[in-house]
Amino acid sequence: MKSEKKGFKLEIDKNAKPIRTAEWYEEEGLIRLKVIKFEGRLGKWLCNTLNKPNHIIVNLDEMGSFIWKRCDGKTTIGEILDELKESMGERFEKEGMEPRSFFFLRMLRNQGFIVWREEE
């Protein structure tokens, strides 16, 4: 079975260095991302008028938190995967963490939570 679908490549350059761009905090070892709902004045006004926060909290699981903490702009994706494999042991292969990690990193990038530079 291929890891590619029409027009979609699952793998990422392992030399790329992801950099966090979203606001976040750690609670009980897991990462919480603070995601802004509205950037425009109308949305902000509506949240303020309804006395609701203009953000939601996205809770990352163990693997996601592990990866997020290492998205420092210095650590490559390959190094992150090596550390994850070492930390998770046989769970890494058993639970298919490499393709899940690639998918997770792509999702973070597509949502604007991280950017990465690819080394030449």
Identify the domain containing residue 54 by its residue range. 11-117
Task: Please determine, for residue 22, whether its predicted confidence score (pLDDT) is greater than 90.
Answer: yes
What's residue 3's pLDDT?
A: 47
Q: Mark residue 24 as left, alpha or beta (left: phi above 0; alpha: psi -120 to 50; beta: remaining).
A: beta
| Cβ–Cβ < 8 Å for 8, 26 | no
Question: Which pTM does this prediction carry?
Answer: 0.81
Mean pLDDT (the chain) is 88
Q: Which residues pair with 31 in a beta bridge?
A: 26
DSSP structure string for 47-86: HHHTT--SEEEEE--HHHHHHHHT-BSSS-HHHHHHHHHH
> Does residue 5 lie in a domain region?
no
pLDDT grade for 62, boundaries at 50, 70 and 90: very high
Q: What's the rounded Cα separation, in Å, for the pair 71 and 21?
A: 10
Q: How many domains does the chain have?
A: 1
